Amino acid sequence: METLVREEIMEGGLEGEASRPIQWSSVFAGALAASAMSFILIGFGVAVGLGVSSASPTWRDASAALALLSGLYLIIQAIISFGFGGYIAGRTARPAPALATIEDDGERRDGLHGLTSWALAVLAGAALLALLGAAALDRSPMRSSASNTSAAEPLLSYELDKLFRAPRRAPNIDLREARAEAGRILMTSSSHSGVSTDDRAYLVQQVAGLTGLAAPDAERRVDALIADSKTAINRARRNSIIVAFSVAAATLIGAAVAWAAAVAGGRHRDGEPLPNWMASSNRFHRNPRVMPVS
């Protein structure tokens, strides 16, 4: 009789549960928890000035230390957020069938829940950023006149303002085409060869014609703005590298943290001791049977 009952359990209940290693309700719960915690921490970081990027032109003048500190904060918030989400995913998942799995399989199953919730949270965040970027691009006033814009306008807008600044100018003068062309020329200042002689002479002519400056004054202004543009582009490139590295590091570290936190959540759910490298967290568990592993 006992053998028959055991076979019926294996064929009916446990094998049916084992055939579904991923419990999507736990995965979604972990992903939502990670996303919510990440939103709170990133919002706090931006509020105190630790955002990894900014639309303000003054962000280009930020020191490398501030950019590195912002990147470090991004990594720390990823550890906290994905750790929280992974723990929720592992703690809320149903235990593995005791007759169908071994201990290592149970840990792998819980870790897989944490890793899946991490992937879902990352994809949801990327989709949200893509939607926000597309909406901002559609609302941009420069979109309707793409031929009169350049990639330099958001980055070198202040330099372009200084380049064509004039004490008096006739009304209803459209500078969009001139700004776009000057921006494309200034973008070459960070190249290996820099701004060519012909481009520099053309900028001097444009500045003299649109601002009324004398040729020597126009030359000095163009030379100063070329140097400023090169500095601004190099700083923006440096910050972009730091941001890209921080995002990649935070995402990859978050995957490992989500896996480990899900394993810890599964162990706490089952009332089992944690591995040696996690044993210090056992003191936070209310189950008296859970003791640090020697």
Q: Which residue has the higher pLDDT, 18 or 236?
A: 236
Q: Which two structure tokens, joined as six digits, stand for 101?
A: 């799995």
Res 134 pLDDT > 50: yes
Distances, alpha carbon 61 to alpha carbons 56, 57, 132, 165, 236, in Å: 10, 8, 26, 22, 9
- Model confidence at 98: pLDDT above 60: no
Q: What is the mean pLDDT of residues 83-103?
A: 76
Contact 266, 91 (CB under 8 A): yes
Task: Give tens-digit pLDDT for 208-237.
Answer: 888 888 889 999 999 999 998 898 888 888
The pTM of this model reads 0.70
pLDDT exceeds 80 at position 13: no
pLDDT band (50, 70, 90) for residue 294: very low
pLDDT band at 274 (very low <50, low <70, confident <90, very high): low
What pLDDT is attached to residue 139? 57
Q: What band does 201 get if pLDDT is binned at 50, 70 and 90? A: very high
Q: Which of 44-53, 59-68, 174-183 has the least mean pLDDT?
A: 59-68
pLDDT in tens, 145-194: 445 556 677 778 888 888 888 877 766 777 888 888 888 998 888 888 88
**Burial class of residue 168 in the structure, from the number of CB atoms within 10 Å of its CB (0-12 exposed, 13-18 middle, 19+ buried):** exposed
- Output the pLDDT for position 178: 86
